[in-house]
Each structure stands twice: as C-alpha cells, then as structure tokens.
Amino acid sequence: MLIRITRYWDDKVLYEVEATDLRSALQQAVSAHADLAGAVLRGAVLRGADLTGADLRDAVLRGADLRGADLRGADLRGADLRDADLRGADLTGADLTGADLRDADLRGADLRGAQNLRLPTGETWDEYLTETVPALLTAGGKSLESFSEHWQCHDWTNCPMAHAFDAPTMEDVPILLRPRAEQFIQFFDANQIPWPLPTKDAKA
C-alpha cells in the first residue's frame, strides 16, 4: 500500500512509498536520507526500527512505540516524544535539543552521549547527573558515599530516595523535593543513573 509521511504544520508530503506498514516506510525514508523534519508519527509502532542518523527535527512522535529502535546519531531536536515508549532504544549520540520527553518510558534506553538532552526541569542530562542528583541525594543530610548499597535496589524499602530522607513512603519526602524524587525514580528505574555518579571534572 502507498504510505505517505506528512509534515504536521502544512500536511506537505515528506516521503511516500509502497510499503507494508509505517515502520517499513520510515526505514526506507531514512535510508533515502529524506528530510523528515516535522513528520507526523504520532502513536506509530516503530519497534526495533533502524533509524540511525534520521532527520526527525520537530517530528511528532507522541505515544510512539520505539522499543528497541536504533536512533544512534538521529536528529531529534524539538521532537515531541511525550508518552513515547523508548525502552531499550539506542539514543547514543542523538541530538535531543528541545525534545519533549515528558512521561516517556526510558527503561533500558541507552542515553550515553545523547547530545543536548534537556530535561523538562531545565537542566541538561549532564547537569542532572553531575549536579542535580548529588544535591538531591544529600539534601537530607546523608553522605553521598552512603548510597552505594542502595543503588541496585528498585524497591522503595531500600530505594535511594527512601534512604536520602528516611522516608517510609513517597509522601514522607519533603514536599518541595517530592517532584524531584519522582523524577529521580523514573530515571533510576530505567537504569539511566550510573553509580558511581559522574563528576563535573570528568565531564570537562
């Protein structure tokens, strides 16, 4: 069947091809080095797709299934990735400047070297790891070194956040820090926060 990939702001056809599904059509477009800036891919099932180096600037990928997709070196500047499933996706070297990752599932995703990944809270991914996380962990008065034994735990009873604030439940985390604790748990459960934590000096 003929599949058309259109641009969201003016419905311009960016690429069209005979293909069995959108996943196949998109891979062919990427192979052809098509300019897919602004492509409408909302809710698309792109599981395991090879999108290496894809130009997906400002693409609408809200709710897309990108589990296991290869997005190495992809240009995702300004892309809407809200609610996207990125479990196991390889985002190594992808440019995520301005990308919206609210509520995206990043469990097992590879964010190493992702360029310009800026979180909804304003900081870059490197700033989050080297500045925000240490500040959050030690906000309750615990030393950073005391968290080592809590790093492999994904149960609240031994969670780093529970340890940080001696909190029996999330409701016991100080209210001003609760959104940050929830953000931490999202990335922690997705295995995105390494231990030991990287340092600012190491990033320099």
- pLDDT value at position 204? 44
The residue among 57 and 104 whose pLDDT is bigger is: 57
- pLDDT value at position 165? 97
User: How are beta strands 2-6 and 13-18 bridged, if at all?
Assistant: antiparallel
Q: How far is CA 130 from CA 98, 121, 199, in A?
A: 20, 15, 5
CATH classification code of 1-118: 2.160.20.80
Who's near 195: CB < 8 A, 6+ residues apart?
147, 148, 151
Which helix (H) or strand (E) is 24 found in, with range? helix 22-31
Mean pLDDT value across residues 171-196: 91
Residue 64 CA to residue 135 CA, distance in Å, equals 33
Judged against a pLDDT cut of 80, whether residue 2 lies above it is answered with yes
Could you give the residue range(s) of every CATH 2.160.20.80 domain in the chain?
1-118
Mean pLDDT value across residues 15-23: 95
